[in-house]
Amino acid sequence: MKSEIRHYFIRLIIYKLPAFFILSTGRMFPLWLFIITLGCVTTISSSTDSPEDPIAACNNCCQGPAGVQGTPGMHGIPGTNGIPGNIGPKGERGESVKGEPGESIRGDIGPPGEKGNNGSRGVRGGKGVPGVRGPFGFKGQKGEMGQTRLSAFSAVRSSSFIPTSDFQPLPFQDIHTNVGGDFDEAGGRFTCDISGIYLFTYSIGTYSSNPHISLMKNNQKVNTIYRSDEGLLDIVSNAAILQLTIGDEVWLQCRDKGREVYSNGDLFTTFSGVILYET
């Protein structure tokens, strides 16, 4: 009860006395009087038996209701990583224990498998180094003379010929020689029946025109005769050695139509061929 009375007087002195002074005198409460009064109140409060602070008690009795709880603050920025620690000491080396070798048991031989297919043929090997030459053998007995096959012809034109088209074969009228029967008189073509090396010759008469004649082998030109001077009675010739196989054809070809091949009873156009040896 005494504590409540004391608190009442303290509040009266602190809050009511200055207001009463202002209302009665019309002046501000002197600062020095407020300080003296506050000091007295403090002395009275400290000399009482109650340990309670009169100002705190006054504040407690005049405190309003609690406010709404505030929003929690944001989390702070994470701190940086700490300094790495020192490397620890190296551990001791572990023991290495070698295990015992396992037991190896060989199984029984299995039955033979089926025969596989034949493999592909290998690539043919390169030619080997020539061997050492052996000694000469005994001389053999003299054999019988073999028969040599021959092929030869010689054809003649005794009158002039004027081709009516380009690349026309030159025909012949007379055959002096036709060994083997390989020359065709009407067509003017020689067909090879014996593979070998052959010699061919031909002579062309000229007078009023400049003939252009080629020796042909299987539609390929071998050589050519061409006379550019007109009005001269003359004979021009050419020859060739050819390697032929069975079925090859050889003939003389008039390259241009209208160019006369001249012949008469004294001046002949000829075409001849003979095998030199078989191959």
Q: Name the residue among 176, 142, 153 with its Cα closest to residue 268.
A: 176
Residue 261 near residue 247 (C-beta atoms within 8 A): no
Mean pLDDT of 96-100: 78
Q: Report the b/e string of 110-145 with b at 16+ CB within 10 A.
A: eeeeeeeeeeeeeeeeeeeeeeeeeeeeeeeeeeee
Residue 52, both tokens: 């309670």
Mean pLDDT of 53-58: 46
- Determine which of 10-24, 137-151, 197-211, 214-228 has the lowest per-residue pLDDT on average: 10-24
Interatomic CA distance for residues 232 and 207, integer angstroms: 5
Residue 171 near residue 275 (C-beta atoms within 8 A): no
Which stretch, 35-39, 61-65, 119-123, has highest mean pLDDT?
A: 119-123
Q: In this structure, are strands 220-226 and 189-191 parallel, antiparallel, or unpaired? A: unpaired
The more confidently predicted of residues 22 and 214 is 214
The pLDDT tens digits of the residues spanning 169-206 come to: 999 999 999 999 999 988 899 999 999 999 999 999 88
HEC profile of the chain:
CHHHHHHHHHHHHHHHHHHHHHHHHCCCCCHHHHHHHHHHHHHHHHHCCCCCCHHHHHHHHHCCCCCCCCCCCCCCCCCCCCCCCCCCCCCCCCCCCCCCCCCCCCCCCCCCCCCCCCCCCCCCCCCCCCCCCCCCCCCCCCCCCCCCCCCEEEEEECCCECCCCCCEECCCCEEEEEECCCEECCCCEEECCCCEEEEEEEEEEECCCCCEEEEEECCEEEEEEECCCCCCCEEEEEEEEEEECCCCEEEEEECCCCCCECCCCCCCEEEEEEEEEEC
In the chain, domain spans: 2-61, 152-278
Q: If pLDDT is split at 50, 70 and 90, which confidence band does 46 have?
A: very low
Q: Which CATH class is domain 152-278?
A: mainly beta
pTM of the model: 0.48
The pLDDT tens digits of the residues spanning 102-134 come to: 777 888 888 888 888 888 888 888 888 888 888
Give the pLDDT confidence score for residue 50 in this predicted structure: 44
